Amino acid sequence: MLASNPEKEASSTPPFLAVRGIRKSYGGAQALKGVSLTLEAGTVHGLVGANGAGKSTLIRILAGLAHADDGGIAVDGKPALIASPAQAADLGMSFIHQELAFVPRMTVIENIMLGLPKKTRFGLVDWPAIAREVEPVARRVGITAPLSAEVDGLSTAENWLINICRALVRRARLIVMDEPTASLSAAESEKLFAIIEDLRRSGVAILYVSHRLDEILRLCDRVTVFRDGNAVSVMERHALSRPRLVEAIVGGAVEALAPHRDVVNKPIVLSARGLTRLPKVDDVSFDLHEGEVLGIGGLVGAGRSELMRLIYGADRPDGGTMTLDGKPFSPKTPAQAVKAGLGLVPEERRAEGLLLTKSVAFNLQLANLSGIVRSPALPLIDYGRRKTLSEGIVRDLAVKTPSIEAAVGLLSGGNQQKVLIGRWLLGAPKILILDEPTRGVDIGARGDIHRLIRSLAARGMAVIVVSSEPDELPDLCDRVLVMAEGHIVRELTGPGITRNAVVEASYAFDGQGKEQT
Amino acid sequence: MSEVVFVRRLSPGTKSVLAVFARYGTIIGLLAMIAAFSLLSPRAFPTVYNFTNVLNQASLAMIIAGGLTLAVIVGELDLSIGFAASMHGVLVTGLIVSSGLPIPVAILLVIALGGLIGLINGVIVTKIKVNSVIGTLGVGTILTGLSFAYSAGVPITAGVPEAFLQVSLGRWLFGIPNNIVIMAAVLGGLWVLVERTPLGQEIQAVGGNHAAARLAGIDVDRIKILGFVGSGMCAALTGILLASRLGSGTTSAADPYLLTAFAAVFLGSATLRDGEFHVFGTFIGALIIAFGFNGLSIFGAPTYSQYIFQGAILIIAVGLSSLGRILSQR
């Protein structure tokens, strides 16, 4: 690589972006605990870390979508206040996310110019002037589609190029790329890398966020590793290596072995064969046993939540079969899955789990309404019974709430999660699926929730836990299946369930191919 | 490097004053209006006769608005109700006068038809996934066309039996006007349904957060369809009572109830609860509109002022409702 040494330049001119001591917490959970990061013009800076390490939070703060509790940001050595996305753009920062934001029915050039007024003296849009400006940039980044095509029909790769073009037309000096190759083919990725190289030479700074370590090793001049809301390591290009990165991502912590029980001899409750819903779930087969805590590990986007949605009837599979207690099971709606004895605690607990303005009792009883009627003939709610049952759950799960009639949105994240889990305890399902059960939950509630999950399994309930936190699955599970790119790439059992094994298998698709063991 | 601190907070004082206004504003407004009219017109306004009259007049709007409340609680809009009520009025009169059906049979048949139209609305919205504004507007327009086809646009007045007029005009229970009795039964029933039954909890959950309701195992489509069915049946009842009160089945007679119902429902959502639709709120909302109209007519305001009042109150109602919602989410 021909990149000049950023350290030498830094002595004469201030870095493009300096982030110092940024803190940010959501509810009780600290997402960023005082991170710093220095980004020089004309360099590619890698940002890596496990899910939940704080990468996205930092990006949201840089983009003006979230506001730091403490800390400072300087652009070109001058303090910068980023209160809104518009201000981030004014500072020359451009963000390209995994979910690309476009107006689908508008053309390529219209999307590129969106929000950038260029008018003739009659106040009309000056299309010839715009075309003169955009066309060379579009050629430079290699957009092959005509600028007058609607973006609706274009490929993801083309959308990336349009986004880069949009950033360059805006004279962006920093482009933040979040998992840019997640949905690109190998050839498309190569093209992107060439453009990144070109951008670097022209003096643009790039913050490159990715789980794919081979890309990080190949592209980056410097890498910052986040772990648990801290920037734990900064590595220069010459010091980069795959083992060093993995070690920094995982952390050198001592493995704590939880007692894993051998449950494979217990009866099988749920069995999936060849379950497929492309592109996220591809030919997945597994068994779930009575009384088992089965962990599903892997990176965000590996297809874990999508697999759970198939089991729960929230999506329909393209192919594959399931059996429940030996009988064919193909739920068409969550309502059918619930009737068959399943329960789900979704990942997005505020968006998909709770009715925030409704009371704790309302949220607890939502899946158990038939259990609180006076009689089948008179379907009125028995408020005494509702109160007894709700208060029982609140007491058993140690939910901290002023009363069962308090709005659930006012509780802390951990207590909201307890309410969601509590909802299913009233109906006693055979299978309980928990997607990221302790995300954004403080450490005390996390322990409570883990103990609760173990005790449910001890009573014979089959539990599936999806988690992106490397520590969570070893603490909790009897068996772990690791997913990558829609496949189950590894099964871990007993003492084989370690945080390193989970992390390593999560990256199994990266470089070496997916079927290795 | 100088540290940059990010602090942006709202003044809690301003917020709580606004919150009280958003919650109790409608009730304070209603009481203030009654007090003001009583002072300005102490002999004509604050009388049992006038209040009974206002409630009697308002009952039809309250019934149709009560039905609409179900539809909006499940998170949809039903714009067909006014047109449907007009058509039902024409139809029930025609069934009695032209087809010679017994009055109770004709009424029950038309209410069932109202439920069927609600079912059609619900299926169009949930299964064919047509936006409810468009879907119900389309159905309502079709119903207007059908009612013209049925009556050739001529009001059915000749031969309407006195017994049918008595359905609305009679005072069969302790001398209380039938309209008020029917309205109380309908709103009372709806209140019990929404607030006191498991089905009502599901109805509230679907409107509150349909993704969460679905994942909790609730059949969201079924609940939404039920909301439309309730709305359609109430619209039919209002259409029947209007035809009985007017003594005729007239096309487009009940169309204005659409706006009144929406104003009542949105005023209601700004009452006591932060932007949530509920049956009691709708009742209060309809009362505000009724007393407003009554006051305007007592003071001899011209007819056109009623339209201005109704349009303004609709905007104020929706404004209050979203203010409440915004404050509750802060």
Q: What pLDDT is attached to residue A516?
A: 37
Q: What pLDDT is attached to residue A515?
A: 41
Q: What pLDDT is attached to residue B328?
A: 57
Distance (Å) of CA A215 to CA A59, A178, A210, A303, A506: 19, 13, 8, 21, 16
Q: Which residues pair with A43 in a beta bridge?
A: none
Q: What are the pLDDT digits (tens) for A400-411?
A: 888 899 989 888
Mutation target to probe the B interface, by most B beta carbons within 10 A, among A339, A352, A359, A432 is: A352
Residue A256 in this model has a pLDDT that exceeds 70: no
Q: Which of A468-472, B21-25, B325-329 has the lowest mean pLDDT?
A: B325-329
The partner residue sitting opposite B4, judged by closest CB among A72, A314, A372, is A72
Same domain, A433 and A320: yes
The partner residue sitting opposite A352, judged by closest CB among B2, B202, B215, is B215
Distance (Å) of CA B146 to CA A137, B90, B114: 59, 10, 14
Residue A99 in this model has a pLDDT that exceeds 70: no
**How far does the CA of residue A335 sit from the closest CA of chain B (Å)?**
4
Same domain, A244 and A360: no
Same domain, A381 and A513: no
Mutation target to probe the B interface, by most B beta carbons within 10 A, among A84, A347, A357, A405 is: A357
How many domains does chain A divide into? Answer: 3
C-alpha A381/C-alpha A363 separation (Å) is 15
Same domain, A438 and A309: yes
Q: What pLDDT is attached to residue B2?
A: 36
Residue at B46 is within a domain: no
C-alpha B205/C-alpha A49 separation (Å) is 38
Residue A257 in this model has a pLDDT that exceeds 50: no
Q: Which of A375-379, A456-460, B195-199 has the lowest mean pLDDT?
A: A375-379
Q: What are the pLDDT digits (tens) for B206-239?
A: 998 999 999 999 999 999 999 999 999 999 999 9
CB contact under 8 A, A334 and B214: yes
C-alpha A400/C-alpha A408 separation (Å) is 11
Same domain, A332 and A435: yes
**How far does the CA of residue A61 sit from the closest CA of chain B (Å)?**
11
Q: In which band, very low, low, confident or very high, does the pLDDT at B190 lie, cut at 50, 70 and 90?
A: very high
B211 to chain A: closest CA residue: A352
How many domains does chain B divide into? Answer: 1
Distance (Å) of CA A303 to CA A282, A346, A351, A477: 9, 14, 20, 19
What is the extent of the structural domain holding B134? 51-252
Contact between B156 and B253 under an 8 Å Cβ cutoff? The reply is no
Q: Which of A256-270, B160-174, B306-320 has the lowest mean pLDDT?
A: A256-270
Residue at B259 is within a domain: no
What is the extent of the structural domain holding A24? 1-92+206-252
Residue A270 in this model has a pLDDT that exceeds 90: yes
Residue B55 in this model has a pLDDT that exceeds 80: yes
B9 contact A CB<8A: no
Residue at A105 is within a domain: no
Residue B182 in this model has a pLDDT that exceeds 60: yes
How many Cα atoms are found within 13 Å in the side-chain-facing hemisphere of B178?
A: 17
Contact between B54 and B313 under an 8 Å Cβ cutoff? The reply is no
Q: What pLDDT is attached to residue A288?
A: 94
And the tokens for A206? 């790039």
Q: What pLDDT is attached to residue B295?
A: 86
Q: In which band, very low, low, confident or very high, does the pLDDT at A511 lie, cut at 50, 70 and 90?
A: very low
Per-residue pLDDT, averaged over B160-181, amounts to: 91
Q: pTM for the whole thing?
A: 0.74
Residue at B330 is within a domain: no
Helix (H, G, I), strand (E, B) or coil at A419: helix
And the tokens for B190? 């709806």
Q: What pLDDT is attached to residue A137?
A: 86
CB contact under 8 A, B219 and A73: no
How many Cα atoms are found within 13 Å in the side-chain-facing hemisphere of B310?
A: 18
CB contact under 8 A, B274 and A314: no
CB contact under 8 A, B217 and A367: yes
Residue at A263 is within a domain: yes
CB contact under 8 A, A381 and B208: no
Residue at B164 is within a domain: yes
Q: In which band, very low, low, confident or very high, does the pLDDT at A245 lie, cut at 50, 70 and 90?
A: confident
How many Cα atoms are found within 13 Å in the side-chain-facing hemisphere of B82?
A: 15
**How far does the CA of residue B23 sit from the closest CA of chain A (Å)?**
14
Q: What are the chain A neighbours of B196 within 8 Å (beta carbons)?
A: 380-381
Residue at A387 is within a domain: yes
C-alpha A247/C-alpha A219 separation (Å) is 20
Mean of per-residue pLDDT scores for chain B: 88
Residue at B110 is within a domain: yes
And the tokens for B34? 């009654």
Same domain, A333 and A435: yes
A244 versus A183: the higher-pLDDT residue is A244
C-alpha A250/C-alpha B192 separation (Å) is 56
CB contact under 8 A, B212 and A380: no
Q: Which of A336-340, B102-106, B281-285, B317-321 has the lowest mean pLDDT?
A: B317-321
Q: What pLDDT is attached to residue A7?
A: 46
C-alpha A302/C-alpha A316 separation (Å) is 18
CB contact under 8 A, B208 and A77: no
Same domain, A219 and A315: no
The full 3-state SS of chain B, as one line of letters, equals: CCCCCCCCCCCHHHHHHHHHHHHHHHHHHHHHHHHHHHHHCCCCCCCHHHHHHHHHHHHHHHHHHHHHHHHHHCCCCCCCHHHHHHHHHHHHHHHHHCCCCCHHHHHHHHHHHHHHHHHHHHHHHHCCCCCHHHHHHHHHHHHHHHHHHHHCCCCECCCCCHHHHHHHHCCCECCECHHHHHHHHHHHHHHHHHHHCHHHHHHHHHHHCHHHHHHCCCCHHHHHHHHHHHHHHHHHHHHHHHHHHHCCECCCCCCCHHHHHHHHHHHHHCCCCCCCCCHHHHHHHHHHHHHHHHHHHHCCCCCHHHHHHHHHHHHHHHHHHHHHHHHHHC
Q: What pLDDT is attached to residue B164?
A: 92
Q: What are the pLDDT digits (tens) for B101-145?
A: 999 999 999 999 999 999 999 999 999 999 999 999 999 999 999
**How far does the CA of residue A313 sit from the closest CA of chain B (Å)?**
9
Per-residue pLDDT, averaged over A431-440, amounts to: 88
B299 versus B140: the higher-pLDDT residue is B140
Q: Which of A396-410, B166-180, B297-311, B313-327 has the lowest mean pLDDT?
A: B313-327
And the tokens for B42? 């102490």
Q: Identify the CATH number of the domain in which residue B80 sits.
A: 1.10.3470.10
Q: What pLDDT is attached to residue B4?
A: 37
Q: What pLDDT is attached to residue A85?
A: 82
Sign of CA dihedral B30, B35, B36, B37: positive
Domain limit, last residue, from A378, A403, A428 = A428
CB contact under 8 A, B211 and A68: no
B202 contact A CB<8A: yes
Contact between B38 and B46 under an 8 Å Cβ cutoff? The reply is yes
Residue at A471 is within a domain: yes
B171 contact A CB<8A: no
Q: What pLDDT is attached to residue A221?
A: 93
The CA angle A277-A279-A282, to the nearest 5 degrees, is 55
Contact between A284 and A272 under an 8 Å Cβ cutoff? The reply is yes
Residue B294 in this model has a pLDDT that exceeds 70: yes
Residue whose token pair is 């072995």: A257
Helix (H, G, I), strand (E, B) or coil at A175: strand
A382 contact B CB<8A: no
CB contact under 8 A, A381 and B197: yes
CB contact under 8 A, B215 and A381: no
Residue B180 in this model has a pLDDT that exceeds 90: yes
CB contact under 8 A, B2 and A79: yes
The partner residue sitting opposite B209, judged by closest CB among A70, A339, A355, is A355
Residue A194 in this model has a pLDDT that exceeds 50: yes
Residue at A474 is within a domain: yes
CB contact under 8 A, B6 and A83: yes
Domain limit, last residue, from A219, A252, A285 = A252
Size of interface A-B (CB pairs under 8 A): 105
Percentage above 90 pLDDT, chain A: 32
A372 contact B CB<8A: yes
And the tokens for A502? 């989970």
C-alpha A262/C-alpha A280 separation (Å) is 30
C-alpha B318/C-alpha B305 separation (Å) is 20
Residue whose token pair is 């409702």: B321
- Could you tell me which of B149, B146, B143, B163 has the C-alpha nearest to residue B96? B163
C-alpha A368/C-alpha A425 separation (Å) is 9
B213 contact A CB<8A: yes
Residue at B169 is within a domain: yes
Same domain, A488 and A469: yes
Q: What pLDDT is attached to residue A1?
A: 41
Q: What pLDDT is attached to residue A471?
A: 75
Q: H or E element: which one contains A226? A: strand A222-227
Q: Is B8 left (phi over 0), alpha (psi -120 to 50) or beta?
A: beta
C-alpha A237/C-alpha B8 separation (Å) is 39
Q: What pLDDT is attached to residue A475?
A: 80
Contact between A249 and A52 under an 8 Å Cβ cutoff? The reply is no
B69 contact A CB<8A: no
Q: Identify the CATH number of the domain in which residue A490 sits.
A: 3.40.50.300
Q: What pLDDT is attached to residue A113?
A: 81
Same domain, A460 and A485: yes
The partner residue sitting opposite B4, judged by closest CB among A73, A346, A379, is A73
Domain limit, last residue, from A428, A458, A485 = A428
CB contact under 8 A, A352 and B198: no
Q: What are the chain B neighbours of A358 within 8 Å (beta carbons)?
A: 204-205, 208
CB contact under 8 A, A312 and B215: yes
Q: Which of A118-127, A438-447, B10-19, B111-120 has the lowest mean pLDDT?
A: B10-19
C-alpha A95/C-alpha A219 separation (Å) is 18
ipTM: 0.82
B210 contact A CB<8A: no
Residue at A184 is within a domain: no
C-alpha A226/C-alpha B79 separation (Å) is 53
Same domain, A382 and A515: no
> Is the peptide bond between A279 and the residue preceding it cis, with omega within 30 degrees of 0?
yes
The DSSP code sequence of A49-118 is E-TTSSHHHHHHHHTTSS--SEEEEEETTEE----SHHHHHHTTEEEE-SS----TTSBHHHHHHTT---
CB contact under 8 A, A335 and B217: yes
Q: Tell me A350's DSSP state.
A: I
Q: Which of A114-118, A198-202, A454-458, B175-179 has the lowest mean pLDDT?
A: A114-118
The partner residue sitting opposite B198, judged by closest CB among A77, A369, A423, is A369
**How far does the CA of residue B274 sit from the closest CA of chain A (Å)?**
9
B194 to chain A: closest CA residue: A380
Q: What are the chain B neighbours of A69 within 8 Å (beta carbons)?
A: 6
Q: What pLDDT is attached to residue A275?
A: 94
For residue B307, the Cα-to-chain-centroid distance in whole angstroms is 17
Same domain, A433 and A485: yes
Per-residue pLDDT, averaged over A97-102, amounts to: 65
Residue A228 in this model has a pLDDT that exceeds 60: yes
C-alpha A235/C-alpha A221 separation (Å) is 9
Per-residue pLDDT, averaged over B71-83, amounts to: 96
Residue at A185 is within a domain: no
Q: What pLDDT is attached to residue A299?
A: 82
Residue at B73 is within a domain: yes
Residue whose token pair is 């979704």: A346
Per-residue pLDDT, averaged over B191-198, amounts to: 93
CB contact under 8 A, A352 and B217: no
Q: Which of A289-303, A455-469, A498-512, B68-82 has the lowest mean pLDDT?
A: A498-512
Q: What pLDDT is attached to residue A189?
A: 83
B209 to chain A: closest CA residue: A355
Q: What pLDDT is attached to residue B158?
A: 82
Residue at B311 is within a domain: no
Mean of per-residue pLDDT scores for chain A: 84
